[in-house]
Amino acid sequence: MKKWFLCISVCLWASFLSAQEDGRIFIHPGRETFVHFPSSSLGNSYTVTFFLPEEFVPLSKNYPLVVLLGVTANQAEQVAAFQQKTPAIVVGINFEEKDYTKHADKLVRFLTKELLPYVDTNYLTLADPEHRLLAVQGPLAAQIALRVTQNEHLFGALGLVSPGDTWKQIPAQGVRTLVIGTQAELAHAQTMLENNARTYGPDFALRYISADDPWFSALNTSYLWAPSQAVQVKSLQAATSSGAVSLRAKTPIYLRVWAILQNKEVFHYVPSVIRMGPPYLTWDPAQGTLYPVPGAEKATVKLRNGTDNPNFLLKIRLKK
């Protein structure tokens, strides 16, 4: 009896290994995982998982598409939580950091020429850019995503989490972008995008990163897929870490600015320039800090945004 059990166990294990080598599909309720997904660009080196908004295919209706680079079948629970907020077909590909530099051109070709046609052919998708989101984490993955979104006919929305400051490309006009990162990353992103004629709200928004949740949980599709008129900036609000500032203080004041959109969504905003009167403070957008300038006197400093977006007015009292 033990020999039979051992024989059956060996056969089952061999069958499992064979399935992996052949690139067969592993089906679980709500997802399909293709091990060694075949690709003319990448060969069969990667695994692609299709996380479904229903338990089984065929699906009952067409869904938007979310492509997450660096996400695997092991993150099914986190993806399911994301799909509770955003019913969508989520495609995860197990790319690693080394892949984004070693196979950059091949990855771009795979995403633009192979993956989207495959998904649209085999699953019920809303096959237009306005219902497609590409999202990545890290500066190397961001460079790949920025290359892909040079073509506005592929993805209408882009999510960049912790993208660093390497913006060699800018998403095409019409690709709405949500940048999630640190103060310095958001400041750099806003400067780069505005310098390339992108408008806060309809073209992009910013959000500070939270370390507590999976990186893709912060992707706000109610913003990314909203009509342009719903995401115009309605007003800006600001607050500081201190109501009054001592001229002898050696620590900076932290300034935070929020953008309130027409649909009442709230995001962060990092002005590159702040108008001040009198000019008794200096503004460092990368740090989000204000410092009294040498020789400053007691006064009430009025801060206004320096761009054409709706202005905020904030008064800071300087005291001795």
pLDDT along the chain (320 residues), means of 10: 40 38 77 95 95 94 98 96 96 96 95 96 95 97 97 96 93 97 97 95 95 88 96 91 80 90 96 86 93 86 71 83
Question: How high is the pLDDT of residue 310?
Answer: 60
Question: How high is the pLDDT of residue 5?
Answer: 39
Question: How high is the pLDDT of residue 180?
Answer: 97
For the chain, the domains span 23-231, 235-319
Has domain 235-319 been given CATH number 3.40.1350? no
For 28, phi then psi, to 5°, come to -130, 155
Question: How high is the pLDDT of residue 307?
Answer: 58
Q: Which CA distances in Å does 104 have to 96, 112, 197, 287?
A: 11, 12, 27, 32
Distance CA 242, CA 317 (A): 10
Fold of 23-231: Rossmann fold (3.40.50)
Q: What is the DSSP letter of 193?
A: H
> Using an 8 Å Cβ cutoff, are 50 and 32 in contact?
yes
Question: How high is the pLDDT of residue 14?
Answer: 38
Identical fold, 23-231 and 235-319: no
> Using an 8 Å Cβ cutoff, are 36 and 15 in contact?
no
Give 166-195 pLDDT, tens digit per residue: 898 999 999 999 999 999 999 999 999 999
Give 276-291 pLDDT, tens digit per residue: 888 888 999 999 998 8
